[in-house]
Chain A
Amino acid sequence: EAQVTQNPRYLITVTGKKLTVTCSQNMNHEYMSWYRQDPGLGLRQIYYSMNVEVTDKGDVPEGYKVSRKEKRNFPLILESPSPNQTSLYFCASVGTVHSMNTEAFFGQGTRLTVV
């Protein structure tokens, strides 16, 4: 079954304690991205990756890092989380970078609370 898997689903952490949210897809997709969703602000893109070792900033990259060492995984790293990063996070993957006729698959989300 085609899947994007995020872990953990829920996380409560303290300010400044580094954390990683993992994202893995089993569809051999080239394109992956991270979004955060906040009330009234919709889904905003944090970072995206067009392929292995190719990453770029989205709309709200401050305070986040990503890596793409292998095609299936695209972890989101918060080096020093702050309360304003409390949010619902989604990972997404899309099949072919330059095809307009493919859909995006989303993970089930990670609800992060930074206290």
Chain B
Amino acid sequence: DAKTTQPPSMDCAEGRAANLPCNHSTISGNEYVYWYRQIHSQGPQYIIHGLKNNETNEMASLIITEDRKSSTLILPHATLRDTAVYYCIVRPYNFNKFYFGSGTKLNVKP
């Protein structure tokens, strides 16, 4: 049940902003968009989530288009420690599972 589409990999220079896109064209009105990341084989780490407004926290910003069919995660100043697989997840209403998909492998380079 692919609910989101992400590019398989992206490169970013250290210190630059990393912009990770996600398409979720079948999202329902009450479904949230979540972003997680997984560094090496550690447990997925929560980054941010939103419904329809743009959100910002200490880690990142989330920009959701007005039609809610896509979103962008922004890491404003990427560091080498941000190298990870980033997952965009649409939270299903029945709440039984998080569909992680394949994610985007972000490579932050010096």
List the interface of chain A (C-beta within 8 A of B).
Answer: 4, 31, 33, 37, 42-43, 45, 48, 56, 58-59, 88, 90, 92, 94, 97-98, 100-101, 103-109, 111
Contact = CB atoms under 8 A, between A and B. Distances in A.
A106 to B, nearest CB: 3
Interface string B32-43: 101010000111
17 contacts: A31-B95, A42-B100, A42-B101, A45-B97, A48-B97, A58-B97, A88-B41, A92-B98, A97-B95, A100-B30, A100-B31, A101-B49, A103-B46, A104-B36, A104-B46, A107-B43, A109-B41
Contacts of B41: 37, 88, 109, 111
Contacts of B98: 43, 45, 92, 104
Is chain A's interface secondary structure helix, strand, loop, or mixed overall? strand
B72 interface: no
Contacts of A107: 43
A100 B96 CA distance: 11
B42 A108 contact: yes
A106 B45 contact: yes
User: Top 10 nearest A-B pairs by Cβ distance?
Assistant: A106-B43, A43-B100, A103-B46, A45-B97, A106-B44, A108-B43, A42-B100, A107-B43, A100-B32, A109-B43
Is chain B's interface secondary structure helix, strand, loop, or mixed overall? loop
A98 B97 contact: no
Nearest to A40: B102
Contact of A100 (B42, B95, B100, B102): B95
A97 B41 CA distance: 27
B34 A43 contact: no
B96 A90 contact: no
Contacts of B44: 43, 90, 92, 104, 106
A68 B103 CA distance: 31
